[in-house]
């Protein structure tokens, strides 16, 4: 399964919007909630994958970018809406970057904190990705090989 945007129901009226975060709207049963805030300009957060944990990342204020990596390659997600969350399934590398000054990220997690669930070594993570002729890394290696051949006039 790949990361994807999940739209959350919102009630709007002339005075503004209300987006309730109800568990039945989340693709898993949350067991932990945490908030990223006051992130220093230029800092990155995350830089890991999880073996079993699922997350829903919501920009409740401001904006930031989430970069994910899976067997299909890198994906960039601009988060700036409180009524949308980025669902990240297990075995997807992620980091958050480019936080605006007022950014607040609300993260719903499917399990309590478990340090053994983290994959913090990116090389280990890449080695664990499913292998196929159609995966991102094989396509990229093939494309580079073709480019090199073309430069050599072959």
> For position 68, what pLDDT does the model report?
97
pLDDT in tens, 140-154: 555 555 555 455 554
* Tokens found for residue 115: 């340090």
Structural domain harbouring 75: 4-151
Angle at 103 between CA 97 and CA 108, to 5 degrees: 80
Place of tokens 């430069």: 151
More confident residue, 147 or 34: 34
pLDDT tens-digit series, residues 96-111: 999 999 999 999 999 9
- CB-count exposure of residue 76 (10 Å: 0-12, 13-18, 19+): exposed
Residue 65 CB neighbours (<10 A): 16
**Which has the minimum average pLDDT: 21-30, 117-126, 130-139?**
130-139
10/151 Cα distance (integer angstroms): 54
User: What is the per-residue pLDDT for 151?
Assistant: 57
Quote the pLDDT of residue 130: 83
Whether the per-residue pLDDT at 29 is higher than 90: the answer is yes
Span 59-78, pLDDT tens digits? 999 999 999 999 999 999 99
- Structurally, how many domains does the chain consist of? 1
Question: What's the pLDDT score for residue 154?
Answer: 46
Q: What is the CATH number of the domain that holds 118?
A: 2.60.120.10
């Amino acid at each position: 399964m790949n990361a994807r945007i999940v739209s959350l129901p919102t009630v709007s009226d002339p005075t503004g919007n209300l987006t309730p975060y109800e568990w039945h709207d989340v693709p898993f049963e949350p067991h932990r909630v945490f908030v990223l805030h006051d992130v220093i300009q230029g800092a990155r957060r995350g830089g890991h994958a999880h073996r079993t944990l699922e997350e829903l990342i919501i920009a409740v204020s401001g904006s930031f970018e989430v970069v994910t990596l899976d067997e299909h390659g890198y994906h960039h997600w601009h988060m700036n809406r409180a009524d949308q969350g980025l669902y990240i399934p297990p075995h997807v590398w992620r980091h958050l970057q480019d936080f605006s000054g007022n950014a607040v990220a609300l993260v719903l997690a499917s399990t309590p904190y478990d340090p053994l669930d983290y994959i913090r070594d990116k090389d280990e993570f890449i080695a664990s990705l499913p292998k196929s002729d159609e995966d991102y890394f094989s396509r990229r290696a093939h494309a580079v090989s073709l480019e090199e051949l073309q430069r050599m006039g072959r």
